[in-house]
Structure 1
C-alpha cells in the first residue's frame, strides 16, 4: 500500500505536467516559475537543515570506530578506522563519501533451522554496496553531463565525461552507459525493498516516493533521448536563459520535456525535507568527522554554563553558629 500510494503520487505529478502544458498551455509556469521556485526551496531548505544540524551541541567525542585505537608503541593502530589525526579523519570521510566504506562491510542476518534447532547466522551482503555505488556514481556523472545545457562554452571536463559515457556508440544517438546503469541500480534498490521481508517491513512511503521519482526522471529522460526526439537547441536556450536570469520559452519543446523538468523540480523541492538530505548530513555526522583522541587530549564541553557552586566552606560559614548549638562538629571555630 505504501509503495502504491507513492507510485500514484508520481503518476499524479506526471498528469499535472501533461495537462498543464498540453491543455492549459502553462509553458511559462512549468518552464520558468516552477524551476526558479524549486531552486529557491532546494537551496534555502538545504542551507537551513545544514545550519540547524551545525548548531546542535556535541558535548562528547563519539566517533564510531571498528579498529585498534592508538595505544602502546608496539600495537599497530588502525589509522583510518580509528583516526587520531585530522588527516586520518579526512581519509576516512573521503572513503565513506566516495566509496561507501562502512556499507562495504554490510552483513545480513538469517535465522536458520537445522538439526540442532534454530541458529542465528551472519553473512556478507555486498549487493547493496554495489547497487548504491553504481546508483550514486551514475547519478553524479549524469548531472555532470547535463552541465552542457547550462554552460557556454561547455567545459572540457564535461566534454570528456560525455565522450567516455557514450563510448559504446550503438546507433544514433549514442547510448550512454550511465543511463543503463542508473536505471538498473534504482530498479534494484526498489526491488530490494519489496522482496526482502525485513526491509519491506520497515520501509515507509518516504522511502518509496524518492525511488519512483528518480525512476520516472530517468525513464522520461531516456524517452526524450531515444524515442521522443526534442529540439536540443531550444532546450539549451531555455536552460541558459534560466541561468542568466533572462528566461525565455522557445517554441517546439515537447510535453515530455516539461514532464521531465517538472519531476526534477519536484524532487529538488522535496529534497531538503526528505531522507535524501543524507548528502549533506554525512559531512556533519559526529560519529565520522571527529578524531578519536580522548586518551590524549582532555575535551571540555563548550556548552557547559558557568555555575556558582555553594561549597561546604561557604555552607559552614553561613550556618556555623546554628551547627554549634545543635552539637554538630565544625571545621572552623
Structure 2
C-alpha cells in the first residue's frame, strides 16, 4: 500500500505538469514560478536545518570508533578508525563522503537453520549506493552547461568521459544507465527484503519514485522524444540571471514535466531524509577527534554545584584514615 501511494503520488504530479502545459498553457507556472519557489524553499530549508543542527549542544567527544585509541607511544593507534587529530578526521570524513566507507564495511545478518546467526558480506548495497550518488552528481554537473553561456572545460571533459563508449546518436551517457539501474536495485531491495519492507515508510518510497521519474523523463527527452535544447538553455539562462522569460519556441511538455519533478525534489529535500547530504558533515560521531585521554572536555552547560574535593574529604576523615592505616597527603 505504501508503495502504491508513493507511486501514484509521483504519477499524479507528472500528469498534472504534462496536462497543465499541454492543455492549459501553464508554461510560465511550471517553468518560472514553481522552480523559483522550489529553489527558495530548498535554500531556506537547508539553511534552517543546518543552523538547527549547528546550535545543538555537543559538549563531549562522542565519535564512533572501532580501532585503538592513541595512548602510549609504543602502542600503535588506528589513525582512521580512531582519529586523534584534525588530519585523521578529515581523512575519515573524506572516505565516508566520497566512498561510503562505513557502508562498505556493513555486514548482513541472517538467522539460518539451527537456529544459527550467520554474518555475511553486504557489498551490493554499498555498490548500488555509490553508483547512484556518483551518477547523480555527474548528471548534475553535466546539466550546468544549461546555465552557462560558455561551457567550461571541466564540464566538457565530464561529458566526454561519460560518453566515451560512443554508442548511438545522440551519444549514450553511461551515468544515465547506471542511475536507472541503481535506483531500480534500491527499490527492489526495499520491497524484496521482508524486514526492510516492514520498516519502510511512504517517505522512503516517494524519493525513489521521484528520482526515477526525473531520470525517466530525462532519458525520454534525450533519446526518444526530442525537445528544443536551445529553448531549454534560454529558459535556464533567464532563470539564473533573475530575468525570467519564456522562449518563443515551444520546448515541449515533457521538459516542463521533468523540470516540475525536479522542483518537487528540491522543495521536498529539506524536509526529508535526503538532508543527510548536509547532515553528514555535522555528525558528531564523524567530525570529532577522539582525544578524550589527551584533553579534558568540560561540559560548559553544567549546572554550578559544589563538588566535595578529595582535600575536603581528607580533612573530614583524616584521623579515621590514619587509624585504618590509609595513606594521607597531609599529616
Q: TM-score, normalised by structure 2?
A: 0.91
1:253-332 alignment to 2 at 5 Å?
253-305=251-303, 307=304, 309=306
Which residue does the alignment assign to 2:312? Answer: none
Deviation at 1:59, TM superposition (A): 2.0
Which residue does the alignment assign to 1:122? Answer: 119
Deviation at 1:310, TM superposition (A): 9.9
5+ unaligned residues in a row in structure 1: which ranges? 312-333
Which residue does the alignment assign to 2:28? Answer: 28
**1: CA distance, partners of 2:75 / 2:295:** 20
Deviation at 1:18, TM superposition (A): 1.3
Partner of 2:74, secondary structure, is coil
Partner of 2:181, secondary structure, is helix
Which residue does the alignment assign to 2:83? Answer: 83
Aligned residue pair count: 308
Does residue 237 (structure 1) correspond to residue 234 (structure 2)? The answer is: yes
**1: CA distance, partners of 2:18 / 2:134:** 31
Which residue does the alignment assign to 1:157? Answer: 154
Does residue 182 (structure 1) correspond to residue 179 (structure 2)? The answer is: yes
**1: CA distance, partners of 2:168 / 2:198:** 44
Does residue 136 (structure 1) correspond to residue 122 (structure 2)? The answer is: no
Deviation at 1:74, TM superposition (A): 2.1
**2: CA distance, partners of 1:286 / 1:56:** 10
**1: CA distance, partners of 2:240 / 2:112:** 58
**1: CA distance, partners of 2:224 / 2:116:** 53
Does residue 169 (structure 1) correspond to residue 166 (structure 2)? The answer is: yes
1:64-79 alignment to 2 at 5 Å?
64-79=64-79
**1: CA distance, partners of 2:253 / 2:51:** 38
5+ unaligned residues in a row in structure 2: which ranges? 309-331
Q: TM-score, normalised by structure 1?
A: 0.90
Q: Among residues 139, 143, 148, which one is paired with 1:146 in the alignment?
A: 143
- Post-superposition Cα deviations, 1:277-313, rounded to whole Å, max 9, x if no partner, equal 00000000000000100000000112235x36498xx
**1: CA distance, partners of 2:230 / 2:305:** 71
Which residue does the alignment assign to 1:98? Answer: 98
**2: CA distance, partners of 1:182 / 1:66:** 33
**2: CA distance, partners of 1:229 / 1:24:** 21
**RMSD, aligned CA:** 1.3
Deviation at 1:171, TM superposition (A): 2.0
**2: CA distance, partners of 1:44 / 1:295:** 40
Partner of 1:111, secondary structure, is strand
Partner of 2:115, secondary structure, is strand
**1: CA distance, partners of 2:269 / 2:307:** 51
